[in-house]
Structure formats: C-alpha cells, structure tokens
Amino acid sequence: MGRPFCIIGALPEKNHIDSFWRNVEKSNGCWLWVGKKSKRGYGELQVNKKYWSAHRFSYRLSNGRIYRSLDVLHSCDTPLCVNSKHLSQGTQIENWKQAIKRGRYKAKLDFSKAQEIRFLHPRVSQYELSRKFSVSQAQICAVLKNKYWRPEIWA
Ligand SMILES: [Zn+2]
C-alpha cells in the first residue's frame, strides 16, 4: 500500500475561515454546523470554487494538513459536528470498525454481503464481521468456507 497523499498547501484565507465559523454553533460537546448541508448529511462549504465537507475543513484548520485519500471520522457519530477534538483521520475499514462498535449494521446476509465478508477477511476479524453483519461467527465461518453464497454459483 502506498503512502496516502498529504496536502500541506496554504491554509484557507481569513475570509473563508470567518465564514466557516459564522456557520458553527459551539457548545460544551459537539459544535454543530448550521450552514449548507450536502446530500449525505454533512456540512458543506465552498472555498475558492471547491466544495469542502465542513468537518474536513475543520480538521484541516486545526491540524494544518489532511490526507486526501483518508476519511475524516467522527468519534461522536454526529455528521454535522465540526469540533476538531471529535475528528480523526482513518481508513474506510477503521470507519467500519467504529460503526460496528456502535451497532450501526443490522442487515442479514445476501450474496453481495457474503462477497464483502470474503473481501474484508482477514483484515477484519471473524468476530468483528459477525457483529458488522449481525450474524453468528459460525455463519461468517461458513461464508468464508464457501458453504453459503458460493461465488461460482452466484457471481
Ligand atoms: Zn462531536
């Protein structure tokens, strides 16, 4: 795996930073973005004709740099939160792991999920997979041994 690309360019200009903070409601916990929202439910702002997620902008502001290929994750599970103390960068798999911990995934298995399980294993453990897909570890094991949803039949 190559190194994720790191952006260290100039920080946003003062007028962009000012308009960012005008759209933030600070409290003791989460700082909520009250400006424009994207379709995916994240805060959104425009900087030099480029759209930024508000939480990515906030992360960049407080850290001075951002890995373009990595997501910025919320430890508070609040998409509109821009409190940099609640933000960190991680990979998609870490993102899943966090979601699994909070019990976000409830669906049962189907062929595409079985393929996903085969793809994720062993980077994601059988235990974590069973929690992600809300099935027993025995079922995860059966998928991995191609007892269910065999690729050559279903692909
Ligand atoms: Zn938060």
Tens of pLDDT, residue by residue over 52-74, are: 999 999 998 888 777 777 788 88
The residue with greater pLDDT, 66 or 91, is 66
pLDDT at position 23, please?
A: 97
Q: What distance in angstroms lies between residue 27's CA and the mean position of ligand 1's atoms?
A: 10
Closest C-alpha to 68, from 7, 114, 19: 7
- Kindly indicate the confidence band of residue 30, based on its pLDDT and cuts at 50, 70 and 90: very high
Q: What distance in angstroms lies between residue 75's CA and the mean position of ligand 1's atoms?
A: 7
Q: What distance in angstroms lies between residue 19's CA and the mean position of ligand 1's atoms?
A: 20
Q: What distance in angstroms lies between residue 90's CA and the mean position of ligand 1's atoms?
A: 16
Q: Which phi and psi (to 5°) does residue 83 adopt?
A: -70, 115
User: What is the pTM assigned to this prediction?
Assistant: 0.57
The residue with greater pLDDT, 106 or 11, is 11
Rounded percentage of the chain residues whose pLDDT exceeds 90:
32
- Which domains can be identified in the chain, with CATH numbers? 6-90 (3.90.75), 98-154 (no CATH)
Q: What distance in angstroms lies between residue 148's CA and the mean position of ligand 1's atoms?
A: 40
At 124, list the tokens: 């994601």
Alpha carbon 6 to its chain's center: 18
Q: Are 60 and 14 in contact (CB under 8 A)?
A: no
pLDDT in tens, 1-15: 344 455 555 567 888
Q: What distance in angstroms lies between residue 83's CA and the mean position of ligand 1's atoms?
A: 6
Q: What distance in angstroms lies between residue 92's CA and the mean position of ligand 1's atoms?
A: 19
Closest C-alpha to 50, from 13, 84, 18: 13
Q: At what angle do helices 14-22 and 54-63 cross, to 10 degrees?
A: 130
Q: What distance in angstroms lies between residue 129's CA and the mean position of ligand 1's atoms?
A: 26
Which DSSP letter does residue 3 get?
Answer: P
pLDDT in tens, 73-82: 888 889 999 9
Residue 154 has pLDDT above 60, yes or no: no
Q: What distance in angstroms lies between residue 137's CA and the mean position of ligand 1's atoms?
A: 33
pLDDT in tens, 112-128: 788 889 889 989 999 99
Q: Which phi and psi (to 5°) does residue 33 adopt?
A: -80, 125
